[in-house]
Structure 1
Amino acid sequence: MLELVFATNNAHKLEEVQAIVGSRFVLQSLDDIGCHDDIPETGVTFEENAKQKTDYLVSKYGLYCFGDDSGLEITALDNEPGVYSARYSGSRDMERNIDLVLEKLGDNPNRAARFRTVISLFLNEQQFFFEGSIEGQIVGSRKGTKGFGYDPIFVPNGYDKTFAEMAAEEKNRISHRAIAVGKLADFLKSY
């Protein structure tokens, strides 16, 4: 089995990704390797932030690793919150972040949005990138209690419920992260 460090301490993300890659790969979190540093995310694109995470882990620990950056892009808000999704309101409080999105959107009829994930993988002295996205709509109020982040206000196209109303298995089949991680897993299996 191949061991990879996933540059996160977000238990939800780790569970989602482990479920997608299956038992062939053993994922370790930052905590598992004793990394308690605040890894910089100063890029202006998802690609730059994902690469910063893997570059940091490679330089400090020398391990095979991957990092991701994900976010919500809302058409009517000029693709905000984008790379600032986790700290859109100036804090990492997702309730405040959701409130700000809903406030800025107001009654704008254009509710089009997409979730994007970019993964940077460092393996055998090479860097690889994988991307996934899913289009959808922002609803006017929170619905559902599952998931995390902006899941309670995002309904993927073709569905009538938010990510937060879906069972984890359903969301993991269609999410932006699932698409990117699926590409990562396919690459690793054929590497």
Structure 2
Amino acid sequence: MPTVIVATGNPGKLKEMQSYLVDLGWELALKPPEIDVEETGTTFLENARLKASEVAKAMGQWAIADDSGLMVDALDGAPGLYTARYGRTDDERIGRLLKELQNAANRTAQFVCAIALARPDGTIALQTEGVCRGAIATEKRGTDGFGYDPVFYVPAVDKTFAEMSPADKDQLSHRGVAFAQLMPELRSLTLQ
């Protein structure tokens, strides 16, 4: 069973990746905490590529990384690369977002997830970017999920991410779209 390093120190992210990649028969492991990759890219895809490549080279093993965030049209794509740093807590981030959109007529937005898989030498073997279009609700709805899930509304199903079942969110979300795009290539890949 090949081992692939998930270029994160977050056990929750590891668990999420395992749920998408369970069919591949890979063993996934977290990167060691001493390997710290600075996200200096100007796009989600650049950051995912950077993390996967640097971790793969440092460990001499295959590595997979993702980078994702929320882009709000009325805020010129913000919070974008700074999605996680838009406040100290989920409530602060949501509060700031709702305040900034208080008088906005256009509330359209998208979640973006970029994924990159790097070979042990750091070269990128596969990459993709998944997008889920939606809008920012005027108030929180639903109790499941995390981050911006209670205010990210998907018109096609008339629910926020926080109102969806985990299975529906896995299928419709930016991360679900990205993994669905990658799976045919991942299945045909031989890790050596």
TM, length-normalised to structure 2: 0.88
List alignment gaps of at least 5 residues for structure 1.
Answer: none
> Residues 14 and 99 of structure 1: is their aligned pair in 2 closer, same or farther, counting only changes over 3 Å?
same
Whole-Å Cα distance in 2 between the matches of residues 56 and 124 of structure 1? 10
Once the two structures are superposed, residues 23-50 of structure 1 have per-residue CA deviations (whole angstroms, 9 ceiling, x without a partner) of 32335242xx533544311222111211
SS at match of 2:127: strand
8 Å Cα contact 2:116/2:127 also seen in 1? yes
Task: Tell me by how many angstroms 1:60 deviates.
Answer: 1.6
**1 CA distance for matches of 2:13 and 2:64?**
13
SS of equivalent residue, structure 1 residue 152:
coil
What's the secondary structure of 2:82's corresponding residue?
helix
Q: Once superposed, what is the RMSD of the aligned Cα atoms?
A: 1.9
Q: Distance in 2 between matches of 1:180 and 1:85?
A: 18
In 2, the alpha carbon distance for the partners of 1:25 and 1:117 equals 23
One of 127, 133, 137 as aligned partner of 1:135: 133
Does structure 1 retain, via aligned residues, the 8 Å contact 2:59–2:120?
no
Q: How many residues align?
A: 187
Match among 98, 102, 108 for residue 98 of structure 2: 102
- Structure 2 partner of 1:169: 167
Q: Does residue 7 of structure 1 match 2:7?
A: yes
Alpha-carbon distance in structure 2 between the residues aligned to 1:142 and 1:68: 26
Shift of the 96–38 alpha-carbon distance from structure 1 to 2, 3 Å rule, reads farther
Show structure 2 runs of 5+ residues with no match: none
Q: 1:35 is matched by which residue type in structure 2?
A: P
Separation in 1, partners of 2:43, 2:157 = 28
Q: Deviations over 1:132-159 (max 9, x none)?
A: 0010010011112211211110012302
What is the percent sequence identity of the aligned residues? 38
In structure 2, the residue matched to 1:52 is 50
Give the structure 2 partner of residue 66 of structure 1: 64
Q: How does 1:26-37 map onto structure 2 within 5 Å?
A: 26-30=26-30, 33-37=31-35
Q: 2:147 aligned to 140, 143, 149, which one?
A: 149
